[in-house]
Amino acid sequence: MRFQNEGTAMMSARNREEDRWIRCFHIRQESDVRLFCFPHAGGSASYYFPYSKELAPGVELSAVQYPGRQDRRLEPLVDDIAELADRVHEALRGTLADGDGRPFAFLGHSMGAVVAFEVAQRLKQRDGTVPAHLFASGRRAPSRRRDLADAVHKRDDAGVVRELRTVGATDPRFLGDPELLAAILPVTRNDYRAIETYAWTAGPALDCPITALVGDRDPQTTTDEASAWAEHTTGEFDLRVFPGGHFFLDAHRAEVAELISGALTGEPRTSSLKGSAA
């Protein structure tokens, strides 16, 4: 009995840790595949709530909640991509181990695309499994670097605000509210530090399909830089270019949901949850 109780306690502790990291907005136990989504710099799990409603019924969406935001706002921020990927990997491997055998896929936008890639690498190298598909949105391939002489995380507050206005990541009304801005800036600066100091370490490519998505006017990612994701898999590669800037995902939600749903299940994206209340 003692060992049974210890096992139950360990399982409960593990579940609590996973619950801190993973948010499932609409449970679809009959779905064919689970899609884990990784937020952009300064972003949170709730960014993907609209996509949870848009995807085909055969896809169950869960989003990763990084420390230091929303319900985790009192936890220390993580300003290193490798450490963040390690911690997400630990949470996800428990979730996948306790799952029902459904395949899983990753979607990451901007910084989230790199975190998703690094977590996929850890799953492959340490657990012998890979996502069924990786969707890398709004981010140049890990092997492509830029001169960051004007790194955002080193700018003053006004400089960080300019960046947020440029990429359209934040409601402009928030940027004009001193109290809200005081909450936004530390998280944003932290995440920019993480992604701007990230250095890809060459290693074996993934073997899952990768689809790169990019806006044709994205100041952070050119189509050539997005095309270089092909170098990071031995599987199939596809590049999809959308009209718009860095956050083309907002303006083209229906099209992106259709693309993801089709790639993962072949189903139309029409969902009984579309338009439902939060």
Q: Does residue 165 form part of some domain? A: no
Q: Does residue 174 form part of some domain? A: no
| Domain tally, the chain | 1
Distance CA 148, CA 146 (A): 6
Tokens of 163: 């960046």
Q: Does residue 6 form part of some domain? A: no
Q: Does residue 21 form part of some domain? A: yes
What digits encode the pLDDT tens for the residues 218-236? 999 999 999 999 999 999 9
Split at pLDDT 50, 70, 90, the class of 204 is very high
Q: Does residue 183 form part of some domain? A: no
Q: Does residue 117 form part of some domain? A: yes
Range of 261's domain? Answer: 14-146+204-265
Report pLDDT for 4. 41
| Residue 139 three-state SS | coil
Q: Does residue 71 form part of some domain? A: yes
| Residue 71 three-state SS | helix
Q: Does residue 240 form part of some domain? A: yes
What digits encode the pLDDT tens for the residues 5-57? 444 333 344 456 677 899 999 988 789 999 999 999 999 999 999 999 999 99
Distance CA 84, CA 32 (A): 28
Cβ-contact 110, 246 below 8 angstroms: yes
Catalytic center residues:
110
User: Domain with 33 in it: what CATH number?
Assistant: 3.40.50.1820
What is the identity of the amino acid at 22?
Answer: I
